Amino acid sequence: QQIELKHGSHRIGKRTDAVMQKWRGYGLGQFIHWGLYAIPGGEWNGKQYNGAAEWIRSWNGIPKSTYDSLIYKFNPVNFNAEEWAVTAKQMGARYVTITTKHHDGFCLWPSKYTRYTIANSPWKKDIMKPLVDAYDKQGIDVILYFSVMDWNHPGWRYDIKTKEDSIAFEGFKQFTRNQLLELLTLYPTAKGLWFDGTWDKSWIKQAAFADELETEMRKFRPGLIIGSRFRADENGKRHFDSNGVLMGDYEQGWERKIPNKIEDVHGNDWDCVMTVPENQWGYNKAWKGHIKTRNELLEMTAKCVSLGGNFVLNFGPQGDGAIRKEEKQLAAQIGDWMKTNSEAIYNCEYAGLEKQDWGYFTKKTGSDKLYMIVFNVPVSGALKVKLPANTSIGKSYLLAQPAQLLNAEEISGTEYFIHLKNTAAGNPFVVVLEPTAKKASGNTYD
């Protein structure tokens, strides 16, 4: 049964306002991880760091102060915000999440609450403003990534054990609040905040402070979207409070993993953030291990949308500000597919139909139109569809060739085979189903 909570979730069920409805329909997004870590790119003195490139500061092979002095090397002469935004547009991304400050504490905006910012680098200029403006110009909504954990701030603590810890952390909490209100003030078109670095005990113990801060930010920016990772409840519960209710506006736990069935998402909004290599968010020179292909990424996108979520693909621009060619190629390949098939991705939701082996169902929000995103054509060339009892298939056709109707053979009251004309599919493709209400059979046998 429900327990009394002061700092648990303040909402049951999905948000129904227009801003969140738009977020729900994005389908595909871009993540950008960029900062000082892009300069070493996962390598130091010729040796490769085995962890994630944006965590290289935590490698004991580098003195912390040596890493921190990378600020004096940050001069991204090939940085072009317009190019990044156009790459995202060509990919078909409808929102972008950009690291304003990662765990190392380096701020891509000229914050007045620390010296560890772009303003004190050779580059000097604000990076966030041109990025927000460029993405806004492309009609791509911006979400600001913010790491609470800040290895550069003297007040940061992993846990609070002594009086000194709690005094230092009080200062850190005010600093964090100041920076967040500063970001919301400087970039008012940002639709949301994507929090990270909130798993340590020090922050988990700040249930009341974080709850008040979240309320303050929502008041400051009505409609602001905040995920489930920002704060813990007074019992230290994260993502879901002590009553199992989702914290924040959407579930943020799907990092480099995708739910397998609808029950896994508990009726919540969610997005999945994904790296192209196995686990590299910041630029890593060694483009090694399993690099996801365009078809794998398309299947992940389709799977996420088929389960009611969004898929957010990460890009790690180089230290000089250019996006690496492999990522540009992927963006173009994905965009090429989206040009023909984005109708099955944008403003679509979980169709409520039994999953079939050939791929994924999506349903257009606000309509009965169904999409079958096909990755595995059966040798029979027949795609099985199970519909609810009171519906049948009015029309079915390839999204890419709407004039060519496909034969939908009724196998039984609720099962159909959609017969494909051409089974040599080199690419994933979409079949559209326009269901109609089933005519009453008229015969009663009762």
Residue ranges that bind ligand 2OX, judged by CB under 6 A: 33, 52, 54-55, 196, 199, 255, 273, 281
Nearer to ligand 2OX, 7 or 103 (CB): 103
Nearer to ligand 2OX, 144 or 273 (CB): 273
**Residue 55 CB, nearest approach to ligand 2OX (Å):** 6
As a three-state string, the secondary structure of 102-154 is: CCCCCECCCCCCCCCEHHHCCCCCCCHHHHHHHHHHCCCEEEEEEECCCCCCC
Closest distance of CB 324 from ligand 2OX, Å: 18
Handedness of CA 246, 247, 249, 253 (dihedral sign): negative
323, with CB counted inside 10 A (0-12, 13-18, 19+), is buried
> Closest approach of Cβ 108 to ligand 2OX, in Å?
14
Beta bridge partners of 29: 95, 312
Instruction: Give the separation between CA 30 and CA 85, rounded to whole angstroms.
Output: 10
Q: How many CA within 13 A on the CB side of residue 42?
A: 20
Q: Report the interhelical angle of 207-220 vs 163-186 (nearest 10°).
A: 10
Strand-pair partners of 106? none
**Residue 289 CB, nearest distance to ligand 2OX (Å)?**
16
- Residues 6 or more apart in contact with residue 100 via CB below 8 angstroms: 107, 108, 109, 128, 144, 145, 146, 183
Nearer to ligand 2OX, 180 or 385 (CB): 180
Cβ proximity to ligand 2OX: between 281 and 360 the closer is 281
CA atoms within 13 A on the CB side of 108: 29
Least distance between ligand 2OX and beta carbon 58 (Å): 10
Two structure tokens written together for 80:
């072009």
Residue with smaller CB distance to ligand 2OX, 52 or 128: 52
Q: Which residue is nearest to ligand 2OX (CB)?
A: 281
- Closest Cα partner for 111 from 100, 98, 123? 100
**C-alpha–C-alpha distance, residues 354 and 361, integer Å:** 9
Q: How far is the CB of 52 from ligand 2OX (least distance, A)?
A: 5
Name the residue nearer to ligand 2OX (CB basis): 284 or 362. Answer: 284
The CB-of-257 to ligand 2OX minimum distance in angstroms stands at 12
- Give the single-character DSSP code of 376: S
Angle at the Cα of 418 from the Cα atoms of 441 and 440, rounded to 5 degrees: 10
Rounded to the nearest whole angstrom, what is the least distance from the CB of residue 201 to ligand 2OX in the complex? Answer: 13
Question: Distance of CA 392 to CAs 130, 408, 442, Å?
Answer: 51, 10, 16
Of 74 and 281, nearer to ligand 2OX (C-beta) is 281
- Based on CB atoms, which residue is closest to ligand 2OX, 277 or 435? 277
Q: How many CB atoms lie within 10 A of CB 375?
A: 18
Q: How far is the CB of 304 from ligand 2OX (least distance, A)?
A: 16
Smallest gap from residue 145 Cβ to ligand 2OX (A): 7
Q: Which is nearer to ligand 2OX, 49 or 281 (CB)?
A: 281
- Taking the least distance from each CB to ligand 2OX, the nearer of 282 and 435 is 282
Q: Are 364 and 352 in contact (CB under 8 A)?
A: no
